Amino acid sequence: MTNINRADTFMLGGRTVKRMGYGAMQLAGPGVFGPPKDRDAAVKVLREAVESAVDHIDTSDFYGPHVVNQLIREALHPYPDDLVIVTKIGARRGEDASWLPAYSPEALTQAVHDNLRNLGLDVLDVVNLRIMFDPYGPAEGSIEAPLTVLADLQRQGLVRHIGLSNVTPTQIAEGRRICEIVCVQNMYNIAHRADDALIDDLARNGIAYVPFFPLGGFSPLQSSTLSDVARRLDATPMQVALAWLLRRAPNILLIPGTSSVAHLRENLASAEIDLPGDVLQELDGLGWSS
Ligand SMILES: NC(=O)c1ccc[n+]([C@@H]2O[C@H](COP(=O)([O-])OP(=O)(O)OC[C@H]3O[C@@H](n4cnc5c(N)ncnc54)[C@H](OP(=O)(O)O)[C@@H]3O)[C@@H](O)[C@H]2O)c1
């Protein structure tokens, strides 16, 4: 059994990235809306991530909106050559902080330009099309129209690579007939495993799977098994949850989100945790897949 360490990598948009990255959504204000309570602290988290060799940051211009991308620019621009910034388009925020679809050609084009401006880039490394037929989980329906717009923006040189988020296997297959899809970002964690078969299929095709809510998101993971295992391994439950994801499949890239330097350090250190076979079996029993 090999130990996962921070040097473990996978391909993301033609670049090799470490499997332990960072998700920036938690840096906005409450409800992912407005500015953070402590701007300096948010900048510190971003700088510490990159100083700790994180080379994959996940963001969107609809976090804040605009706030998180502007923080990333303030903290990290000019960016290290090896940093891959992945953003997403396809949604917008209502004045009441709601999450709304934004798929018209004008909205998608505007979103790409907003990301470029707020991140301070000439071209975006990877853009995920976030599908919003049901904002809370994948729902069937053709993605051809918005994806064709994004593929056109790629042809114009504004976007290097394209991914999909909140999608079904049928939509991924449809997407792959339109353009190359380099990553899929769906909800998945040790307790919520609806995408088990999909992850293995993407691994066979060399496509990265980037689970969102790896720690449970707005409802952090809680389980007596997770706590017991953590105690035995001298780790925290969140570290065990991340270590399990790293063991789950080689194409899983992690983007745990945090607004705290202490949690960032803890999350990065989970890449060093070895999970013996019997522990893995115990943890495998935690999930449900519907
Ligand atoms: N494509 C999509 O639709 C979509 C949806 C949601 C998220 N995302 C992306 O996925 C990333 C990850 O998701 P997420 O940030 O929402 O959820 P997450 O990573 O599952 O969990 C984040 C929550 O866990 C807490 N936390 C983090 N590390 C911890 C630790 N070591 N110990 C205890 N608590 C800890 C954070 O609070 P603290 O700030 O206090 O640490 C925060 O409340 C986001 O940042 C975003 O980039 C994408």
pTM of the model: 0.97
| C-alpha dihedral (142, 255, 85, 46), degrees to nearest 10 | 150
Site to substitute for ligand 1 among 183, 184, 258, most atoms within 8 A of C-beta: 258
Q: Looking at residues 36-42, what average pLDDT do you find?
A: 96
3 pLDDT exceeds 70? no
Residue 55 has a pLDDT of 97
Looking at residue 287, its pLDDT comes to: 75
Average pLDDT over residues 41-65: 97
Whether 24 lines ligand 1, by a CB cut-off of 6 Å, is: yes
The helix (H) or strand (E) run that includes residue 269 is: helix 261-269
For ligand 1, whether the C-beta of 255 sits within 6 Å is yes
Please name the residues in contact with 98: beta carbons below 8 A apart, sequence gap of 6 or more: none
**Cβ distance 130 to 162 under 8 Å?**
no
Is residue 211 within 6 Å of ligand 1 at its C-beta?
no
Q: Does residue 62 register a pLDDT over 90?
A: yes
145 C-alpha to ligand 1 centroid (Å): 30
Residue 69 CB–ligand 1 contact under 6 Å? no
Q: Does 29 have pLDDT greater than 50?
A: yes
User: Which residues, 6 or more positions from 1, have their beta carbon under 8 angstroms from its beta carbon?
Assistant: 274, 276, 277
- Residue nearest ligand 1's atom 35 by CA: 263
- The answer to whether 188 is a known catalytic residue is no
pLDDT tens, position by position, 83-112: 999 999 999 999 999 999 999 999 999 999
Could you tell me if the CB of 267 is within 6 A of ligand 1?
Answer: yes
Residue 290 scores a pLDDT above 60: no
* Residue 290 amino acid letter: S
Give the three-class secondary structure for 60.
coil
DSSP notation for 177-242: HHS-EEEEE-B-BTTB-TTHHHHHHHHHTT-EE--BSTT-TTS----HHHHHHHHHHTS-HHHHHH
Distance 200 CA to ligand 1 centre (A): 24
Task: Give per-residue pLDDT as tens, 175-217.
Answer: 999 999 999 999 999 999 999 999 999 999 999 999 999 999 9
Ligand 1 centroid to residue 245 C-alpha, Å: 14
Q: Confidence class of residue 138 from pLDDT cuts 50, 70 and 90?
A: very high
Res 85: pLDDT: 98
Share the mean pLDDT of the chain: 95
pLDDT of residue 257: 98
Confidence bin at 1 (pLDDT 50/70/90): very low
Write down all domains in the chain, each with its CATH number in brackets. Answer: 9-284 (3.20.20.100)
**Gap between the Cα atoms of 45 and 268, Å rounded:** 12
Which residue has its alpha carbon closest to ligand 1 atom 37?
Answer: 258
Cβ of 49 below 6 Å from ligand 1: no
Whether residue 165 contacts residue 187, with contact meaning beta carbons closer than 8 Å, is answered with no
Residue 289 pLDDT? 65
How much is the pLDDT for 286?
A: 87
C-alpha 196 – ligand 1 centre gap (Å): 20
For residue 89, the CA-to-ligand 1 centroid distance in Å is: 19
Could you tell me what percent of the chain has a pLDDT over 90?
95
> Radius of gyration over alpha carbons of the chain, in Å?
18
With cut-offs at 50, 70 and 90, classify the pLDDT of residue 166.
very high
Whether the pLDDT of residue 5 is over 60: the answer is no
Average pLDDT of 252-258?
A: 98
Q: How many CA atoms within 13 Å lie on the side-chain side of 137?
A: 6
> Of ligand 1's atoms, which has the minimum distance to the CA of residue 213?
20
Q: Tell me what percent of the residues of the chain surpass a pLDDT of 70.
A: 97
Q: Is the CB of 36 under 6 A from ligand 1?
A: no
